[in-house]
Amino acid sequence: MRRRRLAEMLDAGVCRPVTLVCAGPGWGKSALVASWAEARVTSGPIAWLTLSAQHNDPRAFWSDLVMALRMSGAVPGGNPLEQLDLGIRADQRAVARVLDGLDALPQPVVLVLDDFHEVDDARVLGGLTTLLHDPPPALRLVLIARTEPTLPLHRFRAGGELTEIRTRHLAFRPAEAAELPAVHRRRMPVDELTALLDRTEGWVVGLQLLADVRAERGAPANGEVRAASDYLLREVVGALPARTRQFLVRASVPDQMCGPLADALTGETNSRRILEGLESSNAFVVRVEERPGWYRCHPMLRDALLHQLLLDRPGAAAELHLLAADWYARQDSIFEALRHAADAGDWRYLGRLAVERAMVRVMCGDQLALVEVLRRIPPEEHASTAELALCGAAVRYASGDRAGVAGLLRLARSLTGRQAEVPAATDLTLRLMEAGILNWRVGDMPGLIAKSTETLRTLAAYRQDELPSLLHYRAIALNEKGAGLLWMDRADQADRYLWAASMAARGVGSTVTEVNAMAHLGLLVFLQGSLNEAAEHVSAALDLARRNRFETSAQASVSYLTSALIQIERDRVGEAQEALRKALRAGGDEPAAAPGLLAALVRVHLLLAAGDPAAARALLRLTREEAPVTLVAPVLAHWLRLAESEADLALGCFREVVARYDREAPHGVLTASEQVCLARALLSAGDHAAAELLLARVRESTDRVAAVTAWIATAFAADAEGHGNRSIDALSRALLIAERDEIRRPFRRFDQRRLAVLLDRRRWVEEHTAASAVTVARAAGSEPPAGTLDVLSERERDVLRYLPTVLTAGEIAANLNISINTVKAHMRSIYRKLGAARRREAVVRARQLGLL
């Protein structure tokens, strides 16, 4: 085959003194140069000398070199090389005559020295070193070798006068591999050819051997290994010293190796030097670029070596895998240790190692890598030890088999009960899995808090050197307790534990635990009525989840649900629906009890936002019926009661709301949102005094959503009682607070026609009222006399605020819900008290006095 890209490299190379083609056996070095030389017959002479062991004799080497030059036609008549006789011994003077002849060549000549690795004689290499010290102008040397020549090529490399074609260049690319006869004949599909290239890494002999094996019908299952084994064991391994061969067989058990690991497997003390030597000699051992100091065998060589180990020493591979597992465990590379323990088939050791060092990472969300290994444990082994039962529970949990998880955790608890002494890691892992999987899933928040509290108390008795996963356990336990406290409506304590959990999780790199803690912090802050802060927590949690590619996991569902609730309060129904969709996808088919009920509440609020309170009430009834009896979460009880009350108010059933709170919480503590809801019901029932007591408390609450609702309710109540100023002021306060957090939904909960009237009234008044009445009065050089405000009655002050507008007396009366005669009477009283004859004069005087 003619490979154009490599032919171009050779064309460029023979414009320089030296070209090196260096790779292991079977990479097509000689075939490449030969095909290039054949295509270049009109571009000057090419001399070719294939070397062998006999060329370690200087006379044989130099004689054959001169003969190759003569046969190529590069030596003209009269040149010293034409009749050169080196004699019996090719001493330095004879070599000097060869060099003189090379210097006298009239035109460039390419000299190919194939199989240069066969020559290691110091005399031959010394002569070539002399030649390369001051290379003849016409000579273009092409060296083909399996190993790096011991020649001073560094000078040419440093000066940019050396062209090198290495294994990475010789490796066949897809288009080139498709043209190989063995591949082309089969018309191999693209995916099969890609797999073949991955396995052979472009090694041409391997490509041809495997393509031929796959073409044979009825070929044995291990046919591919056998096809390449003979070649590699003879051409690569067979050329190595016996000790190095033994080293390579034992070191090939792991897919990657470093010096210390190879020392542990082989008993050597200088393994890194051996690995470097194998790599530099192109013995199909290559560096792992992304891991300095690490090496790996070519996949096909590793298969051949493992096959040879199986034949020579059955059972030795398992022993070596255990040695590798121990070494990786000491380096704290737990997943690698577990993989080797699984390869060794030592399930009890794997179970102990998983529980002591890795199981906690399943609960931290690092599941994929671990579960992949744990799936290899035969199911019948799960009943052998408590540790293996926990491994089985982790696999079932990752598969979504909740019943299977519960059964295996009960089995693990039973097995620990038979042990005289249970290892601390086993006890803690079992306890955390019971709390995080069993208590959390059924919504048993008191049980979750109790178990996590006990875990934290137990952890306090250990040092990290005694319990390697101590900090991971602590982060999980803090998160579980914080979440339990939130659902139990113990906000202050929940806040402290959740912050501690997020910091602890970040410290140990447990991103899922951190996401979980941040998500619950977001929900906690939302419940406290601060939308901006809640949105920040949710955004941080979801960003972290996306960066670590588990935004569709169950741990992210609470973030999405909180995001949906935030968007509902901001009256962004489309965004809320999308967040709910993502939450349901992340929660899975069987979400945990608390997030599952929270998702139902989000649906209820979406129905209320869509103006369908009857459907919302029906869904609430169904939600109560389907809620698990094991669910104990007072926050959700408050929320359900509030949602039912919101639906009743939207349907005009205010008496049911009052009765509900009298019946279900006669002496209980109500949330700010519940107090506002009850106040609205009391206003509808005509009990303004009781409603005002509730609203007064909530208006100053830190719960901004509830405060906005309370101020709007106050504005409506004041308007109904004819207190225009108070109504406008209350609505202004509601708008001011709402603007900070983009709160919109509370305004939708009230009569929209009346709200529009109040907003218009506020706008009319503000447009015609000075920005600061006192400032205007002082700028006019007068101070408002003391007691002036007391001179005007409250109703007169209401009328006064409308005098700067363009509204007529009749329109002012309509806005204040009083008769036109009453308005006119108040206007006359205002004129008299301000000493004004007409409306405009009264406005000017009122501004001077700071009344407007």
Contact 378, 350 (CB under 8 A): no
Q: How far apart are CA 91 and CA 88, in angstroms?
A: 9
- What 3-state class would DSSP assign to 247? helix
Which candidate, 803, 814, 793, places its Cα nearest to that of 836? 803
Is the pLDDT at 551 greater than 60? The verdict is yes
Q: Note the pLDDT of residue 728.
A: 86
Ordered alpha helix ranges (H), 269-423? 271-280, 299-312, 316-330, 334-344, 347-353, 359-363, 368-374, 386-399, 402-417
Q: How far apart are CA 206 and CA 738, in angstroms?
A: 72
Q: Note the pLDDT of residue 224.
A: 63
DSSP string of 674-721, one letter each residue: HHHHHHHHHHHHT-HHHHHHHHHHHHT-S-HHHHHHHHHHHHHHHHHT
Pairing of strands 139-145, 46-50: unpaired
Q: Taking all residues of the chain, what is their mean pLDDT, rounded to a whole number? A: 88
Which candidate, 570, 526, 558, places its Cα nearest to that of 672? 526
Is the pLDDT at 217 greater than 80? The verdict is no
Contact 568, 561 (CB under 8 A): no
Encode pLDDT of 248-273 as tens digits. 999 999 999 999 999 999 999 999 99
CB-based contacts of 625: which residues, under 8 Å, 6+ apart?
A: none
Q: Note the pLDDT of residue 221.
A: 46
CB-based contacts of 227: which residues, under 8 Å, 6+ apart?
A: 209, 210, 212, 213
Is the pLDDT at 788 greater than 50? The verdict is no
Percent above pLDDT 70 for the chain: 93
Q: How far apart are CA 698 and CA 714, in angstroms?
A: 11
Q: How far apart are CA 586 and CA 599, in angstroms?
A: 12
Write the burial class of residue 407 (CB in 10 Å: 0-12 exposed, 13-18 middle, 19+ buried).
middle
Mean per-residue pLDDT for 294-302?
A: 94
Mean per-residue pLDDT for 165-189?
A: 88
**How many CB atoms are closer than 10 A to CB 111?**
21
Q: How far apart are CA 65 and CA 70, in angstroms?
A: 9
Q: Note the pLDDT of residue 366.
A: 54
Residue 804 backbone phi and psi in degrees, to 5: -70, -10
DSSP 670: P
Is the pLDDT at 137 greater than 60? The verdict is yes
**How many CB atoms are closer than 10 A to CB 414?**
12
Q: Note the pLDDT of residue 802.
A: 83
pTM over the 0.95 mark: no
Encode pLDDT of 756-775 as tens digits. 888 887 777 665 554 334 43
Strand partners, 109: 139
Q: Note the pLDDT of residue 666.
A: 64
Encode pLDDT of 590-609 as tens digits. 788 999 999 999 999 999 99
Q: How far apart are CA 738 and CA 728, in angstroms?
A: 15
Return the biggest CA–CA distance within the chain: 143
Token code pair at residue 458: 């137990």
Amino acid, res. 850: G
Is the pLDDT at 315 greater than 80? The verdict is yes
Sheet hosting strand 139-145, strand order edge to edge? 46-50, 109-114, 139-145, 18-22, 162-165
Q: Note the pLDDT of residue 247.
A: 94
Q: How far apart are CA 711 and CA 226, in angstroms?
A: 84
Q: How far apart are CA 60 and CA 351, in angstroms?
A: 65
Write the burial class of residue 450 (CB in 10 Å: 0-12 exposed, 13-18 middle, 19+ buried).
middle
Is the pLDDT at 663 greater than 90? The verdict is no
Q: How far apart are CA 666 and CA 678, in angstroms?
A: 12
Q: How far apart are CA 710 and CA 749, in angstroms?
A: 11
Q: Note the pLDDT of residue 770.
A: 40
CA trace torsion 28, 30, 35, 36 (10° rounding): 110
Q: Compute the half-sphere exposure of residue 61: CA atoms within 13 Å on the CB side of its CA.
A: 26
Contact 24, 283 (CB under 8 A): yes
Q: Note the pLDDT of residue 776.
A: 37
Buried residues in 739-762 as b, exposed as e (16+ CB within 10 A): eebebebbbebbeeeebeebeebb
Q: Note the pLDDT of residue 365.
A: 52
Which candidate, 218, 219, 215, places its Cα nearest to that of 187? 215
Token code pair at residue 83: 């009749």
Q: How far apart are CA 743 and CA 133, in angstroms?
A: 83
- What 3-state class would DSSP assign to 20? strand
Encode pLDDT of 708-742 as tens digits. 999 999 999 998 888 878 888 899 899 989 998 99
Token code pair at residue 90: 């090719």
Mean per-residue pLDDT for 467-474?
A: 86
